[in-house]
Every structure is written in C-alpha cells, then in structure tokens.
Amino acid sequence: MHRLIVNADDFGLTGGVNRAIVELHKAGLLTSATLMARAQATDEAIEIALATPTLGVGCHVVLVDGDPALSATLDVPHLADPITGRFRDSLGGFLLWLYGGRNGVRQEAAAREIEAEAAAQIGLLQKRGVRLTHIDTHKHTHMFPAVLRPVLRAARKAGIGVVRNPFEPAWSLKATPGAPLVRRTEVRLLRLLQGRFRRIVAEEGLKTTEGAVGVLATGTLDAATVSSLLAAMPAGTFELVTHPGYNDGALAEAHTRLLASRETEMRALGEIRQFPGVELVSFAELSRL
C-alpha cells in the first residue's frame, strides 16, 4: 500500500503560514503539521489545532534560530545565549558547539539541556490541550545522534511514540529534478547517519516512516517535483515535508529563507489529486500501524 503523510512544518511561524495550512487541510491536500511552541503566531496555531481535530499536529522542536521555552540564563545556558536569550542563528554554529572540542562533561551538559528544552516545548503545547501525534525538529537537527536521543527521551516521557525520519530515500533523490548540486550533495552525505538513526529510534521504542521526501526539494518544491515524487513512490509509508505559507510582511520579518517558494508549494500540492492510489494519512495512523 502507498501511504503518504503530507506534513507542513513551521505551524505558528506567522498568520500567513497558519492560514495556508488550514486551507490545504480543508482542501484534502495536507494531513499534518508541526507546531512551533515559541513563535510569532503560536497562539493562533494552537486555536486552529484545537478547532481542527482532523489535522494531525506534532511538535516542531526548535533548537536553533529561535527562542527557548526555558530560561537561557538558568536552564539552558550552553544551548542558548544567556545575553541575547536566543538559540544560535545557524545550523553550522549549533553543530560547532555540539561537536567542536567535545568532552564528557560537555556532552552530558548538551544532552541534559536538549532534553530539558525539548520537554519544555512539548509541555507548552500539551498544557494548552494540543494532542501531539509526533515530533520533529526545526532544520532537522534530530538527524544528528547527539540531538536525537535526548529529543526522543523527552518525547517518550510525554507519551509521544512517533518521530520524523528526516532522511530522503534514494528513489526520491533520483525523482527530484532541479535541486542545486550543493543541496543534493549535503542530503546524500547526511544519509550516512541513517543507520544510526534507525538504531536509536528502535532502542528508544518509537516508530517512524520509511523516509521523508521533499527534503532535497526544500525551496524548489513545485508541481513538477511533486508529480515526479508521487509517480516514483514505492509501497510503504513516507512523509512529504512541505513549507506552505503566504508571502506577506510577517513572513519577511520572520527571517526565513523560504519566502516566495512557500506559495509555490501551496499550488504544487494540488498535484496530489492526480494520484488517487496514494492514501493520505497522518502520523496518528502511523502509530496504529
């Protein structure tokens, strides 16, 4: 059976992103979204989630380029900057801190702060009544083992049993036209972490999909790419990672690199209607498979 979870990241980033997610879900083109616990339009996104029980909602754990749920001074002084109160702006800076010159004490501190922060973000949403179907991370930081295990522990303690598999399958790499060479090289190299990812997920007792498609196409996901991916998709359960949204002033102020491409992705998802043999599910169904 061909099962596809169509997930929108960055739920809560802006009102325009929230509106796009609702419209696509009502149109039957999007089954799931991952909610940011500390973003500009989080409160509105929570209201939407509570009013739309058919939409699967996960926690989009932010550990880079955002604001912590815990105190940067008291709780996560290494993960966040105690002066600015924010996480590191770039994934590169985050990884340099995480892996650069590591020792046992630093490793323990990193794991402790990551788990605590992930738990706090999950808790903020659950306390507001959001029933979380799964967990993933902003910029896919959980593909790295030093992030994955503490994030999974926080998820498991909160009763969440499903995590995004952030690795693009080989078949979808071939079926993704137009991706920049640098991006393609990065995604291929990161696939080397996939075996360890699966082992840690199994050890922690969570479930995941057979892979995430659309990761390579982030920023270039258009109708032709969606059609190519769905035509090539084998049997199994996969996630299509999307970033829909309206390109308005609020989005420009959010400092995201994905601006005009968000509206392109919205239109591109209409191609899903051309593949009636693909069953659209959410992470909630995955937990019962």
- pLDDT tens by residue, 270-285: 999 999 999 999 999 8
Per-residue pLDDT band for 253 (boundaries 50, 70, 90) equals: low
Measured CA to CA, the distance from residue 214 to residue 217 in angstroms comes to 5
The answer to which of 225-234, 245-254, 273-282 has the lowest mean pLDDT is 245-254
Nearest to 142 by CA among 6, 9, 281, 11: 9
Measured CA to CA, the distance from residue 188 to residue 205 in angstroms comes to 27
Nearest to 87 by CA among 10, 22, 141, 49: 141
Per-residue pLDDT band for 247 (boundaries 50, 70, 90) equals: confident
The answer to which of 73-87, 118-132, 142-156 has the lowest mean pLDDT is 73-87
Average pLDDT over residues 220-244: 96
> Which of the 8 DSSP states describes residue 69?
S
Measured CA to CA, the distance from residue 118 to residue 68 in angstroms comes to 9
pLDDT, position 261: 75
C-alpha pair distances (Å), 154 with each of 46, 59, 99, 116: 21, 11, 21, 7
Phi-psi category of 236—alpha, beta or left, where left has phi over 0 and alpha has psi -120 to 50?
Answer: left
Distance of CA 262 to the CA centre of its chain: 15
Per-residue pLDDT band for 179 (boundaries 50, 70, 90) equals: confident
Nearest to 237 by CA among 32, 1, 3: 3
> Which comes out higher in pLDDT, residue 258 or 38?
38
**What is the dihedral angle through the alpha carbons of 138, 140, 144, 147, rounded to the nearest 10 degrees?**
30
The pTM of the full predicted model, rounded to 2 decimals, is: 0.93
Average pLDDT over residues 100-126: 86
Measured CA to CA, the distance from residue 220 to residue 192 in angstroms comes to 23
- Phi and psi at 58, nearest 5°, equal -110, 175
Per-residue pLDDT band for 139 (boundaries 50, 70, 90) equals: very high
Measured CA to CA, the distance from residue 272 to residue 238 in angstroms comes to 14
Mean pLDDT of the chain: 92
Please, are residues 154 and 112 in contact by the beta-carbon 8 Å criterion? no
Domains along the chain with CATH numbers: 2-286 (3.20.20.370)
